[in-house]
Amino acid sequence: MSLDIANITKNFGGMRVLDGVSLSVPTGSLFGLIGPNGAGKSTLFAAISGFQKQETGEVRLDGTRIDALTPHARARAGLVRTFQVPREFGHLTVRENLCAAAPNQTGESLLGLFFRPARVAREEAEIAAEAEEIMQRLRLTQVADQPARLLSGGQKKLLELGRALMLKPRFILLDEPFAGVNPVLIAEIAERIRDLNATGIGFLIIEHDLEALTRLTPYIAVLDRGRIIAEGAPDAVLADVQVREAYLGGAV
């Protein structure tokens, strides 16, 4: 069971941003993706999740090709991403943000509202219950009624994770869950990710905070100028000469 990325290339204008990226991530795992600014990490997430069309390459989730699907269809297949800059609705409360992230509500179509009011009500109750459960899991219940714009950076990251969970994914692509988050909340977010992983959800996590990341992920890969240059256990990868030169400028 794995997320398999094969030979992904992506150009922006004349620039090759992803240059034949292949990676195999076990679907139950905690897997880190590191690399310098501009290496192409977020672009790789966009290609895997369907938000950007790649030039070449294939994406398989547990053996099934998903690279021709829309982002919605990939989410239905179990693969969901979060964004580097959280995309919550600032004027909506935490609870409302979670409910708004639920997929394909019958009530969204006018016909659905007219002809299936009971079903719409049932769906809305299910969505509300799901949101409550996710707030409990992420310890967001005490801010349920706060407008999202009033949340701290870390709480916004948790809400972003919660919005992904509303899609009931098997696998989540997390783009910089610790960026702009204070150390106490970083540890808490890491704990929540660990809890979710224990329930069977896999994670591929982009992160610049290497200490926090490598405490969480027993396996990491390094992307540099659109290519995977190393992967393995964090200690071995961070000791790799090519990685130190490319990513760390020899500073670590």
Ligand X SMILES: Nc1ncnc2c1ncn2[C@@H]1O[C@H](COP(=O)(O)OP(=O)(O)OP(=O)(O)O)[C@@H](O)[C@H]1O
40 interacts with ligand X by CB under 6 A = yes
Query: Residue 11 or residue 70: which is nearer to ligand X going by CB?
Result: 11
Structure tokens at 235: 């200690």
Residues 86-115 that bind Mg ion (CB under 5 A): none
- Residue indicated by tokens 């790649």: 54
Give the list of residues 6+ apart from residue 35 with CB closer than 8 angstroms, or none. 41, 222, 223, 224, 246, 247
> Minimum Å distance from CB 45 to ligand X?
8
Structure tokens at 187: 């540890």
54 interacts with Mg ion by CB under 5 A = no
> Minimum Å distance from CB 150 to ligand X?
26
Tell me which residue of 162, 192, 149 sits closest to 100, measured CA to CA: 162
CA distances (Å), origin 136, targets 71, 142, 200, 202: 27, 9, 18, 20
Query: Residue 48 or residue 140: which is nearer to ligand X going by CB?
Result: 48
Of 31-39, 54-62, 165-173, 191-199, the segment contacting ligand X by CB under 6 A is 31-39
With CB under 5 to 8 Å by kind, the binding choice for 35 among ligand X, Mg ion, none is ligand X
Query: Residue 84 or residue 141: which is nearer to Mg ion going by CB?
Result: 84
Query: Residue 102 or residue 213: which is nearer to Mg ion going by CB?
Result: 213
Contact residue for ligand X among 30, 39, 120, 189 (CB under 6 A):
39
Contact residue for Mg ion among 27, 42, 82, 217 (CB under 5 A):
42
Residues 67-106 that bind ligand X (CB under 6 A): 84
Q: How many whole angstroms separate alpha carbon 26 and alpha carbon 209?
A: 23
CB 91 within 8 A of CB 60: no
214 interacts with Mg ion by CB under 5 A = no
**Footprint of ligand X (CB under 6 A):** 12, 17, 35, 37-43, 84
**Footprint of Mg ion (CB under 5 A):** 41-42, 84
